[in-house]
Amino acid sequence: MSIKLSVVDQTPVHGSHSKVAAPSLSVELAKLCDQLGYYRYWVAEHHNSVHFANPCPEILVAHIASVTERIRVGSGGVMLSHYSPLKVAECFSMMATLFPDRIDLGVGRAPGGSGQTSSALAYPNAPAAAESYADKAQQLEGFLHGTLVGNHPYQGIKVMPDANPTPELWMLGSSGGSAALAGQLGYNIALARFIDPDNCRPDIFAEHKQAWTNAGHKCEPNTILAIAAICAETEHEAKLRAGTAVYRKLAAQLGQREDFLTPAEVQDRYQQLPVSIQAAYDHILAGYTVGTPEQCWDEMDTLSNAFGCDELSLVTVTYSQAERLDSYQLLGGGL
């Protein structure tokens, strides 16, 4: 199976640079991936984070699209629970107009932050109930494609004077909870295996395809599997690099929050952990694709075949920007 490689960029706050540099480092990586032949470049949304520096993906998407030439650019994703579907449709339709056939709009139901930030984003109203996500997703699709039914209170609203072009629509999920909804509404689906590899299963794509078929959509759906991937010249070095991201995830599970640790600091911490916590660290690492370019591509081929998916999106979080650039460059050599 021929594989397209794409990127999900969480805009990590690298320890190698000042914190204020994080968004510009995403721009640097996007330019490199454009040159290497990666297919898409998506940026994520996080709020009140010490690790990830992008609370407003629509701004970074527009900027990256303006400084790249070929690569598709989009959100992976906009946390729709916080926002008006009309405003999201307006922002991304404007970008699709400025950058034709290059803009993707991926949405997700997660808050991307704490309950406190959800409350602040919704002020002076209460945060949207979880049950509202399906309605918001339907409205967003309706605004973009003019499919709101005749008796809908917002029917007839024009997002732009010209209905075209529109962004490519995607729905994000990690364990299948949104698969049927995405298929029913006509959203392509991206599975975030990097978040929950234990519950990210191939049958989720099948559930999405069945809902898509049942809804009568005329075209075929697209699918993406997003994986955590860290590459280096040697397997040992790759595992060292991966330690920063693995330990961050472990610390989050333990309720701890601190800046990224260097690979050496992670190894020192690991040696001091109880055996049970070391096992948890090892389990997280096993869910990552880590190794030399050959090892990573072998595993990516296996995942692509297992999920019946010809596009993989790589999430690479490292302590330094140089390590992240090198990882994408090594993996991009296989394109």
Nearest to 190 by CA among 100, 85, 106: 106
pTM for this structure? 0.96
3-state secondary structure of 306: helix
Locus of tokens 């997660």: 110
For every residue of 66-78, DSSP letters joined together read: HH-SSSEEEEEEE
Tell me which CATH homologous superfamily contains domain 4-230+291-332: Luciferase-like domain (3.20.20.30)
Locus of tokens 């993406």: 224
Locus of tokens 């706050």: 13
Domain ranges of the chain: 4-230+291-332
Burial of 29 (0-12, 13-18, 19+ CB in 10 A): buried
Question: If the chain, 335 residues long, is cut into consecutive pieces of 10 residues, what is the mean pLDDT of each piece?
Answer: 92 96 98 98 97 97 98 96 96 97 96 91 89 95 92 93 91 90 97 95 96 95 98 98 98 93 98 97 98 97 96 98 98 86
pLDDT at 1: 55
